[in-house]
Amino acid sequence: MIRIDSVTKRYPDGTVAVDRLSLEIPDRSITVLVGPSGCGKTTTLRMINRMVEPSEGTILLDGEDTRRQPVTTLRRSMGYVIQNAGLFQHRTIVDNIATVPRMLGWGKQRARERAAELMERVGLDPALAGRYPYQLSGGQQQRVGVARALAADPPVLLMDEPFSAVDPVVRKGLQDELLRIQDELGKTIVFVTHDIDEAIKLGTMVAVLREGGRLAQYAPPAELLASPADAFVEDFLGADRGIRGLSFLPSAALEVTTDAVIPAGAGAGLIAAVKAPTSWSPTPTAARSAGPSATN
């Protein structure tokens, strides 16, 4: 488990990017950090692998202060995926994916075999192996980015807006693929997005941050939709949160009624309606079981 314990990041110019943030990030699930631009999502993610050092507070990985371990060891346990994939343009796809295994001293053949296996896992045609990144579509490049991050089989995956540069259809495919990969591999994923729909689709737990890097709410998606903590969260979730919340309702909780209606220009008829109970308590599905709560 990753535990962020009362962490503050103050940049040298005085900007407080993250303010006393506490979160417990459960193992083998997707935790999404979501919020408006500048609310400290990327800073939080980068503090987890120490690309940014906290000014105050502690981050623990499996109970150990991340500052106690060498930064290279820490980063090897954490794959990192960024927007636009960040691939090495002068290296072929297979060599991009094999980068970390090669750095870890794997032989070329073994590293390439691993890369080929990962291409298949992320849904990339093996025929693309010898191409260069510029010869791939944006969506394919993102898949390569995910494969590269998974190459050395790290237990943790940090993903910073990995799908935000692709069109909505490709994006949906990438999201579905990530959920499938997660089902198979059970990584601990911390995923940054500013898109609430993406957060709700992918997150087992969702942390909504507000400006100044303060935690507004930390909850499973169904709970967020059913009981936003305040007006900021409610506004961020959007006007249609009630409809979206229905997808988390177990069907047994829905009441089917038949109401008499009189359509214009016709005789009286019956119309079936589905009503959510007035006070339903969201029960996350097994795959999205409730994680630990957090305080700020």
Ligand X SMILES: Nc1ncnc2c1ncn2[C@@H]1O[C@H](COP(=O)(O)OP(=O)(O)OP(=O)(O)O)[C@@H](O)[C@H]1O
Vertex 24: Cα angle to 174 and 17 (nearest 5): 80
Binding mask 175-194 for ligand X (x = CB under 6 A): -------------------x
Q: Is the Cβ of residue 126 or residue 212 nearer to ligand X in the bound state? A: 212
Binding ligand X by CB under 6 A: which of 7, 34, 41, 82? 41
Q: Is the Cβ of residue 40 or residue 282 nearer to ligand X in the bound state? A: 40
Q: Is the Cβ of residue 55 or residue 99 nearer to ligand X in the bound state? A: 55
Number of residues that bind ligand X (CB under 6 A): 13
Tell me the HSE value of 85 on the side-chain side, using a 13 A CA sphere.
24
Binding ligand X by CB under 6 A: which of 6, 8, 22, 38? 38
Largest CA distance in the chain: 79
Q: Is the Cβ of residue 56 or residue 64 nearer to ligand X in the bound state? A: 56
Regarding 54 and contact with ligand X (CB under 6 A), the answer is: no
Q: What is the dihedral of CA 164, 122, 154, 217, to 10 degrees?
A: 40
Binding ligand X by CB under 6 A: which of 40, 154, 245, 291? 40
Instruction: Provide the edge-to-edge strand list for the sheet that holds 16-25.
Output: 16-25, 2-10, 56-61, 64-65
Binding ligand X by CB under 6 A: which of 17, 87, 174, 225? 17
CB of 199 to ligand X, least distance (A): 12
CB of 12 to ligand X, least distance (A): 7
Judge contact between 141 and 87, C-beta under 8 A. yes
Selected range binding ligand X among 30-38, 71-79, 146-154, 277-285, rule: CB under 6 A: 30-38
Restricting to residues 193-252, which ones interact with ligand X according to CB under 6 A?
Answer: 194
Q: Is the Cβ of residue 13 or residue 184 nearer to ligand X in the bound state? A: 13
CB of 17 to ligand X, least distance (A): 3
CB of 161 to ligand X, least distance (A): 7
Token reading at 244:
């979206």
Question: How far is residue 17 from each of residues 117, 214, 294, measured CA to CA in Å?
Answer: 39, 9, 19
Binding ligand X by CB under 6 A: which of 29, 31, 43, 141? 43
Selected range binding ligand X among 11-19, 117-125, 129-137, 162-170, rule: CB under 6 A: 11-19
The one-letter amino acid at 82: I
Regarding 88 and contact with ligand X (CB under 6 A), the answer is: no
CB of 201 to ligand X, least distance (A): 18
Enumerate binding residues for ligand X (CB under 6 A): 11, 13, 15, 17, 35, 37-43, 194
